[in-house]
Chain A
Amino acid sequence: MLNIAEFQFRNGDDGYRWDGQAWFGGDVNRLFIKSEGEGTFRDAIETAEVQALYSRAIGPYFNLQAGARQDLGPSPKRTYATVGFEGLAPEFFEVEGAAFLSNEGDLLGRLEGYYNQRITQRLILQPRVELNFSAQDVPENKIGSGLSNAELGLRLGYEIRREFAPYIGLSWNRTFGDTAEFVRADGGRVTSFSVVAGIRAWF
């Protein structure tokens, strides 16, 4: 399932992003493969990661997940031990969180949530938030301690079929604290705002 596969249009620095997962297994025990990443057309891939997780249903709505994450892309290729959760919160909020401990001893964290608001049976507005945290500065990866970055998104999709929904939307991305300092030092922008267009698809 590809939750996000999109082009991001922003002033002079167009890019792309993906976020997807696949699972295999039964009702309780599953193997999850997750991948996400982004890049710009100018500089190729910026970040990319793949996770392989054992997932176990621990209640009617939530799964506990543990496994490994491998960073790909241009920055140092770290490997992480991962433990996290995902599930359905009250009011049908889809939530997901994970902690990552790298082979260099760095501890990172991530929280994600989204909500599918049906405007009609097929037109769906999806507000989305993703927060990344770090327990320490990781200069090699240009990550500062504390809340490192946040993405707020609003995507409007139309389900031609349940499995296939083209969407358009807005994405606001901002880095914070020392992470922002790293970005500034690189001459990048702390805040970026994109118009996005993509597809949500699964089979």
Chain B
Amino acid sequence: MSRTFDRRQILRGAALTGGGLALSARLPTWAQPVSGGIVKPLPTLNGAQIELAIDGFPLLVDGRRTPAIGVNGTVPAPLIRLKEGQNVRLAVANRLGESSSIHWHGLLVPFAMDGVPGISFPGINPHSIFVYEFPVIQSGTYWYHSHSGAQEQEGLYGPIVIDPAGPDPIAYDREHVIVLADHSPMRGEAIFRKLKQQADYFNYQEQTLTGLLADRDQTLKERVRWGWMRMDPTDNSDVTGSTYTYVINGYGPRDNWTALFTPGERVRLRFVNAAAQTNFNVRIPGLPMTIVQSDGQNVRPVETDEFQIAVAETYDVIVTPGAQAYTLVSEALDRSGLGRATLAPKAGMSAPVPPLRRRPVVTMKDMGMGDMAGMSNMKPSASRGIDPTAEQNASRKLAQETGWTGAAMGTTQSAGGSTAGMPGVPGVPGDSDAMSGMDHSQMPGEAAGMGKGGMSGMDMSMRDPKNAPQIKMGPGVQTIAPMPMDRTGERPQGLEDVAHRVLTYRDLVAFAPNPDVRAPSRSLDIHLTGNMERYMWSFDGQKLSDPADPIPFRNGERVRVNLINDTMMPHPIHLHGHFFELVTGHGDHAPRKHTVNVAPGGKVTFDVTADAPGDWAFHCHNLFHMTAGMMRVVTVRPFEVAPA
């Protein structure tokens, strides 16, 4: 029970005696960090035989002791380092008093080894051992986590790095694994219960009367309009910094986990978003990042200043830092808090932490209303500023405490805020032109109703079953996007207006040609549906527990899947056992992913080759959306493909 506690204490001691020396007098005041910084790479396991023990223990985050579940006494769980082509045998002992499991996220394994209780195996009973055994047939950055209850929320996640069998096309001198997460002193079940009782329980950045009087957020007219729809435009994240501390490698922003480098080195940062519920905006002020891999799959290098990493995604970036310290920020999508780490040439150094930016306000486009002419007067309210009473977690104080001045440490500015390194990518204006054409051809009724601003017309069109006949209508379906848009070329939610480069999905181009370039033989629409008020989440209006029928694939077939987000929240959708190719206009170099974030009111199209016979989980990776039922089983049959 006390292992981690001890480890942390030792670390703190080390930071004070070792790295802490550098702190004492030589650094100017602005560089005095909140803590000396904790230089501690993740514990690593490798080889063909690996033993993991799942257990509960207290975890110290920013000096606060909280309950946690981890592996071998640590949160995150140890880094598992494998080599492409090897076999691995992982014996997982469950020392909890409840059933547990481990899923190897993004690894192509036989389905019985996939680790999803109820789909691939029964789970690991209390005080018993399950042995996973599979060949390692890929390389890249991945992760593993519990697929039982809310154990992932409580710390049961860890990174996996698989080195390629041959030479790595990505050259680097040094690497750091950076696991982002959201840690709460509440147990996961308690968080879920609160959400069911009061869906906005954790949102302390709502619009208020004070904000209205101060001319912040939406205008009165907009508020009335949104109120009529019974939609809260500040509902960016279900669970926020009001309970979460955003952690990096298990350390809070004040712990200040620190990664060392030698100036001039090419440093590879392997980011894993292991959060239960939080999409992060990642940036390193003053240091451009070159994205080289996403979801374990190499991509053509593309330089950017900021990227959004959805829950369960991974991104590898290369940075070439100079002789100074840099702050690495993982800012929560809803800006209710941030995670913070430091990249430094030596221990004890740190850099100012940027302040939290204003939380986004959901727009009509996020509601799936498209870029309609009638909406042009409903411009995003961000320019009016955020509600003066909005609350963020303790990390908001770091900017002042670390002496952030903005200009001097500002991020690389680029002209006009174009998308990262990809001139010619169709941007928002192009899309809006295309869509305004669609308004009239496909949705004349709704478009006209909207144009007139008719309230009842608007309400009806936001939940018209005719727009998606496959959806099973019921209390769990609050809205159906009348005009979902492909938003993969747009900047992610909340980063539309930042004055530096931001990665979009369309910037991702596979490094190697796709293994299967056949045209899909059929197309499948899947609607992401929910009710924010009742905290119900589903695919096509059906929760997994309804029960919902499996989605059948024939072994070997290639299918086009359209994910249509009928809600105003982002949903990171994960398909087990497969990679899919995003249809973003890159032909046979489509980026291959295991998890894709579907923007609010957006749609994402991917092609997938169903080549892994078995039963696979397919779900939203927001833990509590999955728990609520936003999940299906995908079956791939038959097990043997008949010879042609």
Contacts and interface: CB of A to CB of B under 8 A. Distances in A.
Main secondary structure of the interface of A (DSSP, over half): loop
Contact of A59 (B206, B228, B390, B475): B475
Interface stretch (A37-45, A78-86, A116-124, A188-196): A116-124
Interface string B219-230: 000001001111
Contact of A61 (B210, B230, B543): B230
A25 to B, nearest CB: 11
Given A27-B536, A60-B478, A60-B533, A92 B207 contact: no
Contacts of B175: none
Interface in A90-108: 90-92
Given A27-B534, A119-B209, A92 B475 contact: no
A88 interface: yes
Interface of A: 27-28, 57-61, 88, 90-92, 117-122, 125, 162, 202
Interface string B125-166: 000000000000000000000000000000000000000000
A91 B224 CA distance: 7
Nearest to B202: A162
Given A27-B475, A88-B230, A120-B210, 7 more contacts: A27-B543, A57-B534, A60-B463, A60-B476, A60-B477, A61-B230, A121-B206
23 contacts: A27-B476, A27-B543, A28-B475, A57-B474, A60-B463, A60-B475, A61-B230, A61-B533, A88-B230, A88-B533, A90-B228, A90-B229, A90-B230, A91-B230, A92-B227, A92-B230, A118-B207, A118-B209, A121-B204, A121-B387, A121-B391, A122-B389, A202-B197
Q: Which 9 residue pairs of A and B lie closest in terms of their CB atoms, listed nearest first?
A: A57-B475, A120-B389, A91-B227, A118-B208, A60-B478, A90-B228, A121-B204, A119-B209, A121-B389
Nearest to B224: A91
A122 B210 CA distance: 11
Interface of B: 194, 197-198, 201, 204-210, 224, 227-230, 387, 389-391, 459, 463, 474-478, 531, 533-534, 536, 543
A166 B534 CA distance: 25
A117 B459 CA distance: 22
Contacts, number: 61
Contacts of B543: 27
A90 B204 CA distance: 22
Given A60-B531, A90-B227, A120 B478 contact: no
A119 B201 CA distance: 16
A90 B223 CA distance: 12
B538 to A, nearest CB: 10
Nearest to B204: A121
B215 to A, nearest CB: 16
A92 B229 CA distance: 9
A93 B390 CA distance: 23
A70 B315 CA distance: 61
Contacts of B227: 90-92
B208 A120 contact: yes
A27 B194 CA distance: 14
Contacts of A117: 209
A121 B198 CA distance: 15
A122 B204 CA distance: 8
B459 A90 contact: yes
